[in-house]
Amino acid sequence: MNSFETIGREYRFFQANSSESTRTIEKIESLLRRRPVPARVLDFGGGDGSFFRALLRQKSLLSQAVKNGSCRVSLVEPSRAHRERARASFPGLMTRARLSKRTVGFDLILANHVIYYLDDPEETIRRLQRLLNPGGMLLVTMARSRENALTGYWVGIFSDLGWEMPFVRAEDLRKAWNGFRRYPIRSRVRFSDTPANRFMLSRFVLGRWFDRVERALGRKELLERWGSHRKSGELQLTLVDDLYCFHRSGARLKQRSH
């Protein structure tokens, strides 16, 4: 089972309470506005499609193009449960468990908070770049490890335990970012500060590592580590991400009129 199926509930809890994706969507929208409307889009590691659906809820040429069928959307996602949920709420969505030889030719590729989990992150980023049509754009979002409260939680725990960091950090990939522009995205998430919410956040962030880390540190310690974000009875998490943007050079797509 893909590790994200085991924390599906936590993932949805975070999505429902977070403005992180709203800020990212605003930035993506502003980048898309300056470009021709994509005819083919790939959402890589797209989860249950909720991020992409949120992008389409904006009034934009992309939303219109998806609605009228002039833009086709594919989602690559290893979790079968996520793929099924994505297809159920997005008629016409094409889904695959992984990139294959038949996954080719996109004008826009999104990889929103996915790279942390890959075994071969640099190779995958290069592959996504190659999948772009001339004039296409690849957008990769990653947290700034220490400035983002969620990834800061990982970094603190794994370094205190003296364990090798099991998640890929943006700074591990310096070479991969050649040719990318980087846009910072700041947001703040607030949860009421309850043990249940702290537990949910810990499971969401640690994923398949949760049980091992809990055995090593104990649940009390895991929950206490959120304490530095406590303010007025709430947990207030500051999230700093970077949106990495790569344009493939070449003839631009013909501007479609709408």
Ligand X SMILES: C[S@@+](CC[C@H](N)C(=O)[O-])C[C@H]1O[C@@H](n2cnc3c(N)ncnc32)[C@H](O)[C@@H]1O
Q: How many residues bind ligand X (CB under 6 A)?
A: 18
Beta strands 132-143 and 234-247 are antiparallel
Q: How far is the CB of 184 from ligand X (least distance, A)?
A: 17
Q: Which stretch of DSSP H or E encloses residue 49?
A: none
Kindly tell me which of 81 and 216 has the beta carbon lying closer to ligand X.
81
Q: What is the token pair recorded at 185?
A: 């995205």
> Does 8 participate in binding ligand X (rule CB under 6 A)?
no
User: What letter would DSSP give residue 207?
Assistant: G
Kindly tell me which of 23 and 82 has the beta carbon lying closer to ligand X.
82
Q: Which stretch of DSSP H or E encloses residue 162?
A: none
Residues 44-83 that bind ligand X (CB under 6 A): 44-47, 50-51, 76-79, 82
> Does 118 participate in binding ligand X (rule CB under 6 A)?
yes
Which CA distances in Å does 57 have to 63, 124, 238?
7, 29, 25
What is the distance between the alpha carbons of residues 160 and 157, in angstroms, rounded to a whole number?
5
Q: How far is the CB of 77 from ligand X (least distance, A)?
A: 6
> Does 203 participate in binding ligand X (rule CB under 6 A)?
no
Interacting span for ligand X (CB under 6 A) from 30-38, 41-49, 164-172, 191-199:
41-49
Kindly tell me which of 85 and 218 has the beta carbon lying closer to ligand X.
85
Q: How far is the CB of 246 from ligand X (least distance, A)?
A: 17
Kindly tell me which of 115 and 213 has the beta carbon lying closer to ligand X.
115
Kindly tell me which of 51 and 177 has the beta carbon lying closer to ligand X.
51
Q: How far is the CB of 3 from ligand X (least distance, A)?
A: 7
> Does 6 participate in binding ligand X (rule CB under 6 A)?
no
Phi/psi for 250 (5° steps) reads: 130, 180
> Does 113 participate in binding ligand X (rule CB under 6 A)?
yes
Kindly tell me which of 45 and 136 has the beta carbon lying closer to ligand X.
45
Burial class (CB in 10 A: 0-12, 13-18, 19+), 105: exposed
What is the distance between the alpha carbons of residues 148 and 186, in angstroms, rounded to a whole number?
9
Bridge partners of residue 186, in order along the sequence: 240
Give 108's contacts (C-beta < 8 A, 6+ positions apart): 32, 38, 40, 41, 42, 62, 136, 137, 139
> Does 117 participate in binding ligand X (rule CB under 6 A)?
yes
> Does 204 participate in binding ligand X (rule CB under 6 A)?
no
Contact residues toward ligand X (CB under 6 A) are 2, 4, 44-47, 50-51, 76-79, 82, 112-114, 117-118
